[in-house]
Amino acid sequence: MTGVAHAPSVDALPSVLPIFPIAGVLLLPGGRLPLNIFEPRYLAMVEDAIAGDHLIGMIQPRDPLAGGDRAPIYATGCAGKITRFESTDDGRYLIMLAGLCRFRVIDELPSTERGYRRVHADFARFAGDIKPGEEAEIDHARLMRALRACCDDDEDQPLEWRAIEHTSGPSLVISLSMMLPFSPSEKQGLLEARDTTERAQMLVTLMEMMAAEGRVGTDDRTIQ
């Protein structure tokens, strides 16, 4: 069973959410995402979040190459709570986001005076992210075969296989979905999967495709 420990109820989540649009970056409920914040508007967003409910919405732009301050975004993102932050001597923030619940974008509000974007967010349809139902059905043996096929040759970032073997299936699906170098559209597909069972099936298929195409490796962000 997946879910988010110590998460608020869906009804307690805010209707207005600041968003951080980054192509190829995935946050899932139950996952942890470290981020290095340096752009002024997102430094302001982090400061305002820390002063408030600590919540930020991670979401992807529809076109990874699109420029501008209001590039179109996907309709689904994931809200994360800042659980740790550190201010650096050169003015950056190092933060850790804990994934809480996915959301659908109802519409976008005008940007704040401090420059970051906000949306009206609907969490209701993703209540299962916080209070899951049935246990996920995960073919752990096939998942491990696919992972070894696509990542065993990555000498730059060798995986800790002993630890991975002892990680629960749902937690492993979350971590691998976030850390493996899938395309932005593939990451979005993993985000929008109906539940952990469907996400696990999609993940295994993507890893098998990655191995067949000769793509190996993991993302350079540390997922915890």
Q: 3-class DSSP state for residue 19?
A: strand
Residue 155, pLDDT above cutoff 90: no
Percentage, residues of the chain above pLDDT 90 = 66
Instruction: Kindly list the distances between the CA atom of residue 136 and the CA atoms of 85, 171, 196, 198, 201, in Å, as whole numbers in the listed order.
Output: 32, 11, 6, 9, 11
pTM reported for the whole predicted model:
0.87
How many other CB atoms are found less than 10 A from the CB of residue 92?
A: 15
* Per-residue three-class SS string for 170-196: HHHHHHHHHHCCCCHHHHHHHHHCCCH
Q: How confident is the model over 60-78, as a mean pLDDT?
A: 89
pLDDT at 191 over 60: yes
Mean of pLDDT values over 180-208? 95
**Integer CA distances (angstroms), 14 to 53, 105, 110, 120, 156, in order:** 9, 12, 17, 9, 41
| Residue 157, pLDDT above cutoff 60 | no
Tokens matching residue 119: 């949306």
